[in-house]
Structure formats: structure tokens, C-alpha cells
């Protein structure tokens, strides 16, 4: 994750876009019908390079116009399709769906007109573009289109094949002809691809009632191929290396935030994954139940602690134990606090820091303020780092009571790893989505610092004595590892295909992250119990 002044572009995809984020879930939805990959309508081997982006602008505006015409039928209950669908799904729901789609469409159209070049194209029109494609059935109404849909397989079979690699090669060959082109349209291509993907995901979000024929929305396969080819070519990457794109991308990201706030009605309703700006997209398997509250409406952020959304369990799995264990550190509530030794109090304190940082981050994850989200995510990582260091520190403190000088060296090492856990989260690369696995590797490496002290104990006291000393310690390690497996694999949400079940889980946040939180709390509890056993030190050892 980045700061508000440096919004990173989304990594270029290696596969086709315009699919919903949860493509793995097989849902019966109102979807856009795709044509095979064919770009014969665009001959990029001839003509000026500017015509590539200008042709993209022309095709997008034409597609949006066709799409707007299709959606306009939902505004009238006279249409047979509209009447059936309105009756089955509810007029308010369908009209709201269509209204949001039209708003997204209008925003894309405004941005395209603003960022992509416009000039006269030789003999280019919708008819001339269609003339390069196989003949489409001429339908006068949506009902007639519906009656012709069974023949679409034969139509698709007659379409020519086209290799996307050939398209990329053509774009690379045209690279030198972009030297006189304003760089901003090229920087806008990744953002355009994301917004078209979000629009398509929204169009696919309305469940189709059984027994009702649904007309096809305009195909976007040509746009998909062209945008993906631009993104996959070296053209965009090489030119972007020579420009400062931060300001452009920041402006575009700010517009995405404004649109998402608008869809959430200033934070008063939950939105879907496809409605979120890129910065807020972390788990594509969680498709709904997202808060997006402006920082100005901070009371709503606080009140969301007591409402249902996809972060509810992520918050309360750490908030409840934080409150319970905090009482053990307050002498006026628990008089036995003074009877607890320093290492146990220190471990409990660092565990509470970790739990509070987690609660803070998951509460603020629904805030539409990039800088605030960044800071809270970094604080969350800091809390995890100190919990790992404190866990290792208690083992070192109690295990080296017979060799305090060696123990002090290892305690300094634990302190240094804790400091590293404070520094790395504030590096720009650390919070980026593409480094998610490396973050896991970093924290696992911190935990592995326990290996050297344990190996030293084995050398000094023998394997049997070392395992007797740590036999209760391994249960907490097992809990940490089990929770980490859930976090990395995103199980179970990655395998859920039942739409109702997925919606229920998303409504309260019962997913891999909440399960990971549960195992963290279990591991902390187990380690607190293990401290009572490790406090006695290694058998036969007399503290010096």
C-alpha cells in the first residue's frame, strides 16, 4: 500500500480482464455475452500510432452508447423484458442496479473523452468497424434478440481466430511512432481497464430469475483485447519509466474514491468489491459487505464497530480478548497483577498492543481516507512484530537463567527483531499488494529467530531437557502456523461456490482472516499458560 500522494498503478494482468472478481463462483447472473478474441477490425500495421488510442476512444464510446441504450429499456415497464424482470426482482432493486450502471457508464465516458485523443479518423464509423466482423443478426427489438440467442453458438463458430500475441507484436512494432504522443493517455490505459472491469462486474451482479430470457448486453471483447494488448506490450511500460506518473494516477485514484463514496451514499450503505478503488481491494473472494465511509463522517466509522459487515468478526475476535486481558494489567481491578513477574507482564502488554493495532486497522479499513488506511495498516504490522519478539523473549529469558550473559545477548537480538518490525512496515514496498507473500516471509523469519536460542539450549542442556522445558511452548507455535495457513490460502472463501452461503459469510466477515485471528488469540492464551511452566526454568539448572 502506498501513501495518498503516490497511488501505485495496478500490476499489468497476464490474463483476460473484464471478469468478475469472484469468477470462481458459478452464479446465474445477468452477464455480458463475449465474442471470441478478434481484432481484425483494427489494422495497427498501417496508419499513425495516434490512431490506436483514438480508435480505442471511438470503440469505447460506441460500446457505451450501445450499452446505455440497452440499460434504458429497464427504465420503462412497457418493455416485456423490463416488466418480467421488474416483477421477479423488485422494481426498486432493478432500477437502482440500472441507475448505478448508468452512473458508472457516464463516469467512464467523461474520463475517456478527457484522456484519450480525438481527431478525424479516416472512414471510421460504427458501420465500418462492423463491416470487418461477421454479419450480425439484424434485430428490431429485445424480444426478437431473445428469440435469436440459441443461434449464437453457430455465430461464434464462424468468427475468425486471432492471437493476442500477434496483437502485442503489432503494438511493439508501432512503439517508435508514439514519440509525439502525450504520455497521459498511456498512463490512463490501466485505469481504464480497471473501470471497464468494474462496470462489467456490476452488470453481472444482478441475479437472473429462472424462466426469464435476458437480452445480451453489447459485447466488449474487442475492447478487452485492445486494452489487454496495450497493457501487455512493452510500449506502456517503457514510456512510463521516463515520466512522473504520480500526479496523474493520484488524480485518477481520487476520482475512483469519489465514485465509491457516492455508491456507498456517503458511507451509509455497504458496497461490493467491484465498487472499491484499487487500494482497498485485498481479497477478491470476499465480494460484498464493504464499508466505504468518508473521514468526515467519522462517527459512522466508530458506530460500524457495532454493525454487521465483512470486518465484524475481524474486529471482535481481537477486541473482546483485548478488553478481557487488559484488566489483568490494571491493579485496581485485579490485585494479583503485582504478583506476576516482569516477562509475563511484558508479553501480555505486547500482545495487547498487537490486538489493539489489529482492531484499529480493521475498523479503519472501511474509511475512505488513503493516508489513514496506510498508517493503520503499518501500525498493525508493528503490533505483529512486537508480539513475535515478545514471544521469543520469554523463551530466552526463562531458558537462559543459568547462563544470563548468553541470555542477554539473545534478548538484545529479540529487541533488534522487534525494531526491524517497526522499520520495515514504513518502507514503501512493504505494504504493496504484490509483496504480500514477502511480508509473510518476513514475519516467519522473525519467528525463526527462536531456532538459534533453542539450538543453544540443546547444546548446553541436551535435547531431552530442552524439550521438557518447551513442551508447552509448541502448542502455541502450532496454533500460529495453523492460523497462518488459513491466511495464506484464503480458505474457506476461495472454495465456496454457493451464492447464499458466500453472501452470509461476507455479511459478518466469517472468512480466513477471522479464523486467523482466532488462532492468534488461541496462541497468545496458550503461550501465557506456557509461561507458568517455563518460569521454573530447565530442570537441574541453578540460576546464577
d(CA 290, CA 269): 9
Q: Annotated binding site for Zn(2+): which residue ranges? A: 362, 513, 517
Beta carbons of 493 and 440 less than 8 angstroms apart:
no
Using a 10 angstrom Cβ sphere, with 0-12 exposed, 13-18 middle and 19 or more buried, the burial of residue 180 is exposed
Beta carbons of 297 and 266 less than 8 angstroms apart:
yes
Beta carbons of 367 and 299 less than 8 angstroms apart:
no
433 phi, psi to nearest 5 deg: -60, -40
Q: Of 361, 426, 436, give the one whose Cα is nearest residue 11.
A: 436
Q: Give the three-state DSSP class for 245.
A: coil
Helix (H) or strand (E) holding 114: helix 91-115
Residue ranges per domain, the chain? 50-243, 300-534
Q: Annotated binding site: which residue ranges? A: 362, 513, 517
For the chain, 544 residues long, give each residue's pLDDT as a single digit of tens. 433 334 444 444 443 333 333 434 433 333 333 333 333 333 333 344 466 667 777 777 877 887 777 777 655 543 444 455 555 556 666 677 777 778 788 888 887 877 777 655 455 555 554 454 444 444 444 455 445 444 445 544 544 454 445 544 554 554 444 444 445 566 677 777 777 777 777 777 665 544 444 444 455 555 566 666 655 655 455 545 544 455 555 666 788 899 899 999 999 999 999 899 988 999 989 999 999 999 999 999 999 999 999 999 999 999 999 999 998 777 655 555 556 688 999 999 999 999 999 999 999 999 999 999 999 999 999 999 999 999 999 999 999 988 999 999 999 999 999 999 999 999 988 887 778 888 989 999 888 888 999 999 999 999 999 999 999 899 999 999 999 999 999 999 999 888 889 999 999 999 999 999 999 999 999 999 999 899 888 876 655 5
Tally of CB atoms within 10 A around 119: 9
d(CA 517, CA 484): 9
Locate 511 and state its grid cell: 472468512
d(CA 491, CA 498): 15
Locate 544 and state its grid cell: 546464577
* Cis amide bond preceding 356, omega within 30: no
Q: Find where cell 500477434 sits.
A: 166
Tally of CB atoms within 10 A around 237: 12
Beta carbons of 82 and 74 less than 8 angstroms apart:
yes
524 phi, psi to nearest 5 deg: -60, -45
d(CA 528, CA 390): 11
What class does CATH assign to 300-534?
A: mainly alpha
| Cβ-proximal residues to 519 (8 Å cutoff; 6+ apart), any chain | 479, 480, 482, 483, 486
Locate 531 and state its grid cell: 509461561
Beta carbons of 445 and 439 less than 8 angstroms apart:
no
| Distances 87 to 29, 77, 90, 139, 512 between C-alpha atoms, Å | 17, 9, 6, 25, 38
Helix (H) or strand (E) holding 439: helix 436-447
Amino acid at each position: 500500500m502506498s501513501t495518498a500522494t503516490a497511488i501505485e498503478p495496478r500490476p499489468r494482468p497476464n490474463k483476460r480482464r473484464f471478469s468478475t472478481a469472484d469468477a470462481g463462483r458459478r452464479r446465474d447472473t445477468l452477464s455480458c455475452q463475449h465474442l471470441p478474441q478478434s481484432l481484425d477490425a483494427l489494422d495497427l500495421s498501417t496508419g499513425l500510432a495516434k490512431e490506436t488510442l483514438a480508435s480505442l476512444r471511438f470503440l469505447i464510446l460506441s460500446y457505451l452508447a450501445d450499452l446505455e441504450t440497452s440499460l434504458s429499456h429497464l427504465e420503462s415497464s412497457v418493455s416485456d423484458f423490463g416488466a418480467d424482470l421488474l416483477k421477479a426482482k423488485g422494481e426498486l432493486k432493478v432500477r437502482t442496479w440500472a441507475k448505478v450502471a448508468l452512473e458508472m457508464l457516464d463516469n467512464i465516458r467523461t474520463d475517456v473523452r478527457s484522456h484519450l485523443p480525438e481527431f478525424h479518423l479516416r472512414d471510421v464509423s460504427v458501420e465500418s468497424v462492423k463491416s470487418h466482423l461477421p454479419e450480425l443478426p439484424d434485430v428490431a427489438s429485445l424480444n426478437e434478440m431473445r428469440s435469436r440467442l440459441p443461434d449464437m453458438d453457430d455465430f461464434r463458430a464462424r468468427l475468425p481466430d486471432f492471437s493476442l500475441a500477434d496483437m502485442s507484436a503489432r503494438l511493439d512494432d508501432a512503439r517508435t511512432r508514439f514519440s509525439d504522443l502525450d504520455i497521459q493517455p498511456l498512463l490512463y490505459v490501466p485505469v481504464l481497464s480497471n473501470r471497464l472491469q468494474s462496470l462489467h462486474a456490476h452488470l453481472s451482479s444482478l441475479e437472473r430469475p429462472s424462466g426469464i430470457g435476458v437480452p445480451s448486453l453489447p459485447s466488449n471483447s474487442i475492447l478487452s483485447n485492445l486494452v489487454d494488448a496495450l497493457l501487455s506490450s512493452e510500449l506502456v511500460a517503457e514510456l512510463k519509466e521516463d515520466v512522473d506518473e504520480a500526479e496523474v494516477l493520484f488524480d485518477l485514484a481520487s476520482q475512483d474514491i469519489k465514485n465509491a463514496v457516492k455508491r456507498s451514499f456517503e458511507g451509509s450503505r455497504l458496497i461490493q468489491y467491484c465498487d472499491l478503488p484499487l487500494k482497498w481491494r485485498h481479497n477478491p473472494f470476499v465480494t460484498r459487505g464493504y464499508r466505504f465511509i468518508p473521514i468526515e463522517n467519522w462517527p459512522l466509522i466508530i458506530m460500524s464497530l457495532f454493525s454487521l459487515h465483512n470486518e465484524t468478526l475481524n474486529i471482535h475476535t481481537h477486541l473482546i480478548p483485548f478488553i478481557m486481558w487488559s484488566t489483568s494489567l490494571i491493579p485496581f481491578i485485579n490485585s494479583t497483577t503485582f504478583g506476576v513477574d516482569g516477562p509475563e507482564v511484558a508479553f501480555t502488554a505486547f500482545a495487547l498492543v498487537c490486538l489493539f493495532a489489529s482492531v484499529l486497522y480493521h475498523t479503519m479499513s472501511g474509511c475512505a481516507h488513503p493516508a489513514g488506511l496506510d498508517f493503520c495498516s503499518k501500525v498493525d504490522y508493528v503490533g505483529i512484530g512486537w508480539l513475535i519478539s515478545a514471544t521469543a523473549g520469554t523463551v530466552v529469558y526463562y531458558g537462559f537463567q543459568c547462563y544470563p550473559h548468553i541470555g542477554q545477548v539473545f534478548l538484545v537480538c529479540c529487541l533488534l527483531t522487534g525494531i526491524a518490525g517497526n522499520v520495515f512496515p514504513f518502507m514503501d514496498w512493504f505494504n504493496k499488494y504484490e509483496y504480500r507473500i514477502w511480508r509473510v516471509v518476513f514475519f516467519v523469519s522473525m519467528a525463526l529467530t527462536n531456532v538459534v536460542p533453542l539450538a543453544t539450549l540443546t547444546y548446553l542442556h541436551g535435547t531431552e531437557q530442552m524439550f521438557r522445558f518447551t513442551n508447552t511452548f509448541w502448542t502455541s507455535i502450532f496454533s500460529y502456523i495453523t492460523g497462518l495457513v488459513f491466511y495464506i490460502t484464503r480458505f474457506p472463501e476461495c472454495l465456496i461456490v454457493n451464492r447464499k452461503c458466500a453472501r452470509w459469510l461476507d455479511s459478518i466477515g466469517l472468512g480466513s482472516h477471522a479464523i486467523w485471528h482466532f488462532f492468534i488469540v488461541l496462541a497468545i492464551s496458550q503461550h501465557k499458560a506456557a509461561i507458568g511452566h517455563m518460569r521454573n526454568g530447565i530442570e537441574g539448572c541453578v540460576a546464577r
